[in-house]
Amino acid sequence: SVTYGTVVNGIRKSGDSDWALNFLRTMEDRRIEISVMIYNMVIDSLCKNGQMDDAFDLFRRIESKGILPTVVTYASLIHRLCVLGRWSDVLELVRDMVRRKISGNVVFFTILIDAFVKDGKALEAKEMWEEMIQRGLVPDTVTYTSLINGFGMHNNLDAAKQTFDSMVSKGCLPNVVTFNTLINGYCKSNRVDEGMKLLNEMSRRRVVANTCTYNILIQGFCQVGNIDAARKLFREMLCKGPHPNSITYSIFLDGLFKNGKQDEALVLYDKMEKNGIKIGIVGHTIVVHGLCKDGKFAEALHLFEKLTNKGVKPHVKMYNVIISGFCGIDFLDEADKLFKHMKEVGCKPNNRTYNILIRAHLKNDDISKIIELTREMRDRGFSAD
Site for RNA in 345-364 (CB under 7 A): 350, 352-353, 355-356, 359
How many C-beta neighbours within 10 Å does residue 378 have? 12
Q: Considering the rule CB under 7 A, would residue 105 count as an interface residue with RNA?
A: yes
Choose which of 27, 168, 177, 312 interacts with RNA (CB under 7 A). Answer: 177
Instruction: Return the DSSP state at 242.
Output: S
Return d(Cα 305, Cα 319) in angstroms, integer: 11
Q: Are 106 and 132 in contact (CB under 8 A)?
A: yes
Looking at 17, 51, 163, 184, which residue binds RNA (CB under 7 A)? 184
Q: Could you give the CA distance from residue 302 to residue 296 in angstroms, rounded to a whole number? A: 10
User: In the range 27-46, which residues lie near RNA by CB under 7 A?
Assistant: 35-37, 40-41, 44
The binding track of 208-227 with respect to RNA, each residue x by CB under 7 A or -, is ---xxx-xx--x--------
Beta carbon nearer to RNA, 36 or 372: 36
Window contacting RNA (CB under 7 A); options: 16-24, 69-77, 162-170, 231-239: 69-77
* Residue 259 found at the interface with RNA (CB under 7 A): no
Which of 11, 20, 72, 265: binder of RNA (CB under 7 A)?
72
- CB atoms < 10 A from the CB of 151, how many? 23
Number of residues that bind RNA (CB under 7 A): 72
CB of 99 to RNA, least distance (A): 18
- CA–CA gap between residue 193 and residue 186 (Å, rounded): 8
CA–CA separation, 69 and 100 (whole Å) = 10
17 binds RNA (CB under 7 A): no
Q: What's the burial of 25, exposed, middle or buried (CB within 10 Å: 0-12/13-18/19+)? A: exposed
Spell out, one character per residue from 308 to 327, where the chain touches RNA: x when CB under 7 A holds, - when not: -------xxxx-xx--x---
Residue in 162, 175, 226, 374 binding RNA, rule: CB under 7 A: 175
**Residue 24 sits in the site that holds RNA (CB under 7 A):** no
Taking the C-alpha atoms of residue 55 and residue 193, their distance in angstroms, rounded to an integer, is 45
Q: For residue 254, state whether it binds RNA (rule: CB under 7 A).
A: yes
Q: Given candidates 76, 160, 230, 377, which one binds RNA under the rule CB under 7 A? A: 76
Instruction: Name the 3-class secondary structure at 313.
Output: coil
Question: In whole angstroms, how close is the CB of 228 to RNA at the nearest point?
Answer: 19
Minimal distance in Å, beta carbon 247 to RNA? 4
List, as own/partner pairs, every contact residues 85-90 make where C-beta atoms lie below 8 angstroms and the sequence separation is at least 24, other chains included: 85/119, 90/115
Q: Does residue 140 belong to the site contacting RNA (CB under 7 A)?
A: yes
Question: What minimum distance in Å lies between the beta carbon of 33 and RNA?
Answer: 13
Residue selected from 81, 180, 192, 266 as contacting RNA according to rule CB under 7 A: 180
Q: Does 329 interact with RNA (rule: CB under 7 A)? A: no
Q: How far is the CB of 260 from RNA (least distance, A)?
A: 10
CA distances in angstroms from 334 to 224, 326, 344, listed in the order given:
36, 6, 15
CB 68, min distance to RNA, A: 12
Q: Is 181 among the residues that bind RNA (CB under 7 A)?
A: yes
User: How far, in Å, are 11, 125, 147, 151, 199 from residue 162 at the CA level?
Assistant: 42, 17, 11, 10, 18
- One DSSP character per residue, 104-141 reads P-HHHHHHHHHHHHHTT-HHHHHHHHHHHHHTT----H
